[in-house]
Amino acid sequence: MKALVKTAHGPGLELAEVPDPRPGPGEVLLRVLRTGICGTDLHIESWDDWAAGVVKAPLVLGHEFVGEVVEVGAAVSKVAVGDLVSGEGHLVCGACRNCLAGRRHLCANTRGLGVHTDGAFAEYAVLPEANAWVHRHEVDPDVAAIFDPFGNAVHTALSFPVLGEDVLITGAGPIGLMAAAVARHAGARHVVITDVSEHRLELARKIGVSVALDVSATPVAAVTGELGMTEGFDIGMEMSGQPSALREMIANMTHGGRIAMLGLPAREIAVDFGAVVLKMLTIKGIYGREMFETWYAMSVLLQAGLDISPVITHRFPHTDYAEAFATARGGKCGKVILDWTS
């Protein structure tokens, strides 16, 4: 089969012939339909310091995907041939304290599909049955392909109640945009999203945020009066990983405000913890999705009318992967989808 492979240590990828995978006990074989390009894939493609320290070549990339089940291994009982499946890309050990307590998203031994083991940028992929989310209702395959980052957005956006609250989101990348859509759908009063990319801020306006703010030109504090806010933001969602974004968020939170932090900083962040203490703020780190409560919430939100399709801005056949990766890296886009059926 064809697969997008990191064939050797160093920059670049290759669309190569690799052996067809076979499902083992407890595994399902998928014919991959669509995949989404993630920032992690860009790191691996460019072979930055993080990738060089984590990834062992050769490796098939890809952890955002949807496919049709074409074969099941022994002992598979809940997933059937013909099912449409999105994959949870975090492979947990099942034996640690958190796994045994049902808190699989907190497994300290998590391995990443397409990072530590072969992923789904291929015509076929194998997935543990326990990691298969079967779509029981109609869903656009492009949207189903991005359930992984959509789950990050839902996990972040619903970590704290947002009904009637004023929400600040820093970072209008695809996950930030989806989090904004979720917060609006869940009843937030005002949703303000910040970035320095006018392209992404325009996508945010299409989603229906209250204010899409270019923080390179206007500080966050300037919009609170415009929105009739007197005490700061109730809920913060930090999606950018930028030190200045977290500091500005803390400065603009109300007393007792709550911050969900998904953005992963590339370096240490100096934070005014005096403000955190005196304002009695809560800061919660978010990683991945709650398995599988977040997945259930995603499906329910879509059935209830949430539309995240505007976040998907580019689609390419998998053979045009180089152009697709260049588009994703260029930043003037939302989610970029590869079609493995064309």
Does the annotation list 124 as a binding residue? no
Residue 342 confidence class, pLDDT cut points 50, 70, 90: confident
Catalytic residue set: 40, 43
What CATH number does the domain containing 270 carry? 3.40.50.720
Does the annotation list 286 as a binding residue? yes
Is 13 in the same domain as 106?
yes
In a domain, 267, yes or no: yes
Does the annotation list 246 as a binding residue? no
Within the chain, strands assigned E span: 2-6, 14-17, 27-36, 59-60, 64-72, 84-87, 90-91, 111-112, 124-128, 132-134, 166-170, 190-195, 211-214, 233-238, 253-261, 282-285, 312-317, 335-339
What CATH number does the domain containing 139 carry? 3.90.180.10
> pTM here?
0.96
Instruction: Report the share of the chain in percent with pLDDT over 90.
Output: 98
In a domain, 290, yes or no: no
Is 166 in the same domain as 51?
no
Is 279 in the same domain as 170?
yes
* Helix-helix angle 293-303:147-157, to 10 degrees: 100
In a domain, 301, yes or no: no
Domain that holds residue 219: 153-285
Other C-beta atoms closer than 10 Å to the C-beta of 146 total: 31
Chain segment 251-262, per-residue pLDDT in tens = 999 999 999 999
Is 142 in the same domain as 8?
yes
Q: Does position 20 have pLDDT exceeding 90, yes or no?
A: yes
Is 142 in the same domain as 157?
no
Give me 210's structure tokens. 């209250």
Say whether 30 sits in a helix, a strand or coil. Answer: strand
- The mean pLDDT of 173-189, rounded to a whole number, is 98
Is cis: bond before 243, omega within 30 of 0? no
Does the annotation list 264 as a binding residue? yes
In a domain, 302, yes or no: no
Is 38 in the same domain as 167?
no
Give me 308's structure tokens. 């995240």
In a domain, 246, yes or no: yes
Is 104 in the same domain as 212?
no
Is 102 in the same domain as 203?
no
Does the annotation list 287 as a binding residue? yes
What burial letters (b/e) apply to 273-311, b meaning 16+ CB within 10 Å? eeebeebebebeebebbbbbebbebbbebbeeebebebb
Give me 25's structure tokens. 């006990």
What's the structural domain count of the chain? 2
Chain segment 292-314, per-residue pLDDT in tens = 999 999 999 999 999 999 999 99
Chain segment 225-280, per-residue pLDDT in tens = 999 999 999 999 999 999 999 999 999 999 999 999 999 998 899 999 999 999 99
| CA proximity to 166, closest of 206, 241, 225 | 225
In a domain, 25, yes or no: yes
Determine the pLDDT at residue 125. 98
Does the annotation list 175 as a binding residue? yes
Does the annotation list 99 as a binding residue? yes
Question: Cα torsion for 198, 200, 202, 208, to the nearest 10°?
Answer: -140
